[in-house]
Structure 1
């Protein structure tokens, strides 16, 4: 679906760059079909050298003649970018936004044309092709437009479709989720070091353990609870570790963290409307 389309990317930062890398490495697009705009000259030159794409400092040039526009800008910059492009964006290109908290209605209302908007919530593991991305479509976007968005983000991980009203929950769960996982890895590593392991050994063991556990969950053959039970023998070491986690309110704390991040996403979204 993407192969014959021209793509304009506004913002060549970490996530924008990851998407460009993913699309090109998977053969979804040719570098010559992609134009990226970014305010930083060094970033433009790095993208041009690494990916072979066309680069510019002018957002209007990036979207000109584009069949698909990816808005990979920070949420606080979205209103300014949309105002700049108000008369350049038309009903023809599909607009894909990865800005957290920015609704499809906000983007649709920024331009006189009936924009076809796909709102996306990716996460940082997309940078290594292991992202978790949720997508939803605006009132003018078609099922085909949504499929196009899923094709893009499937190049950097897994994708799911959700109702727009649940995007804040996605933000709290998978958008912020990598930070929770990194904190857990930090804690596991710290424990290993405190008990005598070398830092690099402890970090490697902790990281690989979470990676392997996640792969087992994604196989879908057993639930997380069943997988946990497989590791937990009566009177064994794992049971003692789990008792300590439960005594510290581990499960309740994680649930509270997701709820707090979700509420903050809602607050930020309201402030930007």
Structure 2
């Protein structure tokens, strides 16, 4: 890959994306330019991978063909204003800031700029992310394919229209927190039944991981897979009945809906 890749911000998500790209070897460190206010983050990467650790966000924007803005939503407008004059016409600006629309980004860098919104999730930290990709009309199919190739280094990607990003946040961006709560609750139940805490977490987490893999690899409907576990007059159907009685599915749907509404509110603000 010939493109020079820039990163403004090296927090958890920015660093996860960068590390995934470096591990893939599709872009050498010498073609990567980074800036973070904590200069030591870039210095470590320079020593390990020979990346270019620059002194400012403007420097990264000037040098890069693709720029990842891995900064918090509350400061992204200031960063965009800072780098706007340094962006080339063909530079692709990628934002991972939740709730910040393409229109907001374009308002600050120009409506002819190539802009992509990406919504990753925290499993990016272990190269198991699910990322939505939303380009504006200035981004070509070839450029979109390059962005997907970069982000596939940390997991899976899907291209979605911007009006569905709030739903993506509910289904993928926020949901790892719900899954962690579920794993914790599963483990608590197992501990109550006599398992050690360490074993309980391992059994619960592996069950969630394996169940997700089974669904993705077989393509079967989750209801069908659930029925495969529920033997007649068995143990599992007893638990399923109790979850239904306690409103398990309804609570999950309500939680996803709440995240969608909150995301919509943030975007309006």
Q: TM-score, normalised by structure 2?
A: 0.96
The residue that corresponds to 1:152 in the other structure is: 150
The residue that corresponds to 2:131 in the other structure is: 133
Q: 3-state SS of the aligned residue for 2:64?
A: coil
The residue that corresponds to 2:17 in the other structure is: 19
The residue that corresponds to 1:231 in the other structure is: 229
Shift of 1:113: 6.6
The residue that corresponds to 1:263 in the other structure is: 261
Tell whether the 8 Å contact from 1:120 to 1:136 is kept in structure 2 after alignment: yes
CA deviation vs aligned residue, 1:177-197 (integer Å, no higher than 9, x gap): 111110001101111112211
The residue that corresponds to 1:167 in the other structure is: 165
Q: 3-state SS of the aligned residue for 1:234?
A: coil
The residue that corresponds to 2:92 in the other structure is: 94
Q: Distance in 1 between matches of 2:122 and 2:75?
A: 19
Q: Distance in 2 between matches of 1:209 and 1:112?
A: 48
Q: Distance in 1 between matches of 2:48 and 2:245?
A: 50
> What RMSD, in angstroms, separates the aligned Cα atoms of the two structures?
1.3
Tell whether the 8 Å contact from 1:136 to 1:146 is kept in structure 2 after alignment: no
**Stretches of structure 2 lacking an aligned partner (at least 5 in a row):** none
The residue that corresponds to 2:105 in the other structure is: 107
**Stretches of structure 1 lacking an aligned partner (at least 5 in a row):** none
Tell whether the 8 Å contact from 1:90 to 1:113 is kept in structure 2 after alignment: no
The residue that corresponds to 1:246 in the other structure is: 244
Q: Distance in 2 between matches of 1:146 and 1:199?
A: 45
Q: Distance in 2 between matches of 1:20 and 1:49?
A: 15
Q: 3-state SS of the aligned residue for 2:117?
A: strand
Tell whether the 8 Å contact from 1:105 to 1:138 is kept in structure 2 after alignment: no
Q: 3-state SS of the aligned residue for 1:133?
A: strand
CA deviation vs aligned residue, 1:225-247 (integer Å, no higher than 9, x gap): 11111000111010011111111
Tell whether the 8 Å contact from 1:56 to 1:62 is kept in structure 2 after alignment: yes
Q: 3-state SS of the aligned residue for 1:155?
A: helix
CA deviation vs aligned residue, 1:111-141 (integer Å, no higher than 9, x gap): 2472100111010101111100111111322
Question: Which sits farther off after the overlay, 53-62 or 81-90?
Answer: 53-62
Shift of 1:77: 1.0
Shift of 1:199: 0.5
Tell whether the 8 Å contact from 1:8 to 1:35 is kept in structure 2 after alignment: yes
Q: TM-score, normalised by structure 1?
A: 0.95
